[in-house]
A and B are shown apart, each in its own frame.
Chain A
Amino acid sequence: MNCIIIDDEETARAIIQHLCSQVEELEVAQDFPNAIQAIKFLNKEEVDLIFLDIHMPDFTGFDFIQTLKNPPKIILTTSDKNFALEAFEYDCIVDYLVKPITLPRFLKAIQKAETAPSAPSVSSSTKSTDDTIPSENSSEENDLYINIDRRLIKIDIPTISVIEAKGDYILIKTDKQNYTVHSTLKKIEEKLPNDLFLKVHRSYVINFKKIIDIEDNSVLIEKDVIPVSRSNRPELMKRLNLL
């Protein structure tokens, strides 16, 4: 079984690495100090087992599990016994280890992982950079994940109509809902398809397909009148299928 370790505490990661080295059939592919880095890794690699700390700042172990489409087997590691009940709500969780972890208890958990019904190996449906996390899988190229209140929320990219810069945040307007995310216009622009989105002003990126009409130095999208700067106007005009 190949596995990864996710824990914000370096001591804990070193101990679990050491415990894994005691089991011949267990190979640690990598360890991570936070869940976001692990998500990036899982975009590219498959694993059979994850040792997952529940209590991490910013992004808890349970938040992490919810981002996985087909979670592999997971062994929770924690200094808190109170999460045991919540752990049973997830089929992928095969055991629950309370720190400090002893070798006999660790071996028992591995045995459970080996005998538990096989879960498919996982590729996470997400890839992360900061608070806006686009999917890298081709089948999900229309998805963008945003980090709000420690949860990754999926947005269907074509439903985005306008993105507005608001200081250190961006406001993403979609057909269904608006989201305020800690990110920049430049970062989200890089993650959106060029043929669909266009920067029309230093504070606005628009979905080209959502334009209702264009008048002078503004475009109407849904009910919003979006300013078009002089420097961005030529590119906008170039893209129009003018009669």
Chain B
Amino acid sequence: MTETPNLNYIKQLADGSSSFEQKILGIAKREFFEEKKEFLNNYNNKVFAKTAENVHKLKHKIGMFGLETGYKTATDFEEELKGNNPSLYPKFIVILDSIEYFLKTI
């Protein structure tokens, strides 16, 4: 994975408003950790239809943090999961881990 998460989109939206930036980051952080947990739970239980829904929701966060290739991987993974195929999991979990590290260190 060559791309790294960034705040370009959020900063562009905030247009200098640090209060909005903090607010949206706070919500996104909380939701991301909840969504990742739910994703892992459903994935580990092999409930792939639900896992696909989790990936769909996480896709927005992946896009928000500027991961364009990651967004495409998520889209492909979501489609695969709908057909009960989890083969893109190793690629997808790397994306989630990079966002998690990013959110924990900013």
Task: Name A residues whose Cβ lies closer than 8 Å to a Cβ of B.
Answer: 8-12, 14-15, 18-19, 55, 57, 79-80, 99-100, 102-103
Q: Using A9-B60, A57-B53, A99-B63 as known contacts, say yes or no to A14 and B27 having CB atoms under 8 A apart.
A: yes
A10 adjacent to B12 (CB under 8 Å): no
Return chain B residues, CB-CB under 8 Å to A102: 9, 12-13
Which residue of B12, B61, B63, B64 contacts A103 across the interface (Cβ within 8 Å)? B12
- CB pair B63–A14 under 8 Å, yes or no, is no
CB neighbours (8 Å) of A11 from chain B are 24, 27-28, 31, 60-61, 64
**B102 on interface, CB distance cutoff 8 Å:** no
Name which residue of chain B comes closest to A81, CB basis.
B75
Contact A18:B31 (CB < 8 A) given known A12-B60, A102-B12: no
- A103 vs B17: C-alpha distance when bound (angstroms): 14
- With A9-B57, A11-B61, A99-B64 known, 13 other A-B pairs at CB within 8 A are A10-B27, A11-B27, A11-B28, A11-B31, A11-B64, A15-B13, A15-B24, A18-B13, A55-B56, A79-B56, A79-B60, A79-B63, A102-B12
Cβ–Cβ < 8 Å partners of B9 in chain A? 100, 102
Residues of B close to A18: CB separation below 8 A: 13, 20, 24
Closest-CB distance, A112 to chain B (whole angstroms): 20
In Å, the complex CA distance between A15 and B57 comes to 15
Which B residues lie at the A interface, using CB under 8 A? Answer: 9, 12-13, 15, 20, 23-24, 27-28, 31, 53, 56-57, 59-61, 63-64
Give the secondary structure class of B's interface. helix
Q: For residue B28, which residues in chain A have a CB less than 8 angstroms away from its CB?
A: 11
* Cβ A99 vs Cβ B60 within 8 A: yes
Known: A11-B28, A100-B64. A80 touches B56 (CB 8 A): yes
Known: A10-B31, A18-B13. Contact between A100 and B24, CB under 8 A?
Answer: no
- Nearest CB of A to B13, in Å: 6
Contacts of B15 in A (CB 8 A): 103
A93 to B20 CA separation, bound complex (whole angstroms) = 29
Q: How far is the CA of A8 from the CA of B53 in the complex (A)?
A: 12
Asked whether, in the complex, the Cβ of A100 is within 8 Å of the Cβ of B23, the reply is: no
Contact A100 B60 (CB under 8 A): yes
Q: For the complex, what is the distance from the CA of A80 to the CA of B76, rounded to whole Å?
A: 11
Alpha-carbon distance A242/B53, docked complex (angstroms): 59
Alpha-carbon gap, A103 to B14, bound state (A): 10
The 7 A-B pairs at the shortest CB distance, nearest first, are namely: A100-B63, A79-B59, A99-B60, A100-B64, A11-B28, A79-B60, A11-B27
Chain A residues near B63 (CB-CB < 8 A): 79, 99-100
B6 to chain A, nearest CB (A): 12
Please measure, in the bound complex, the distance between the C-alpha atom of A15 and the C-alpha atom of B31, giving whole angstroms: 14
Bound form: Cα–Cα A99–B27 in Å: 16
Cα A11 to Cα B56 in complex, Å, equals 14
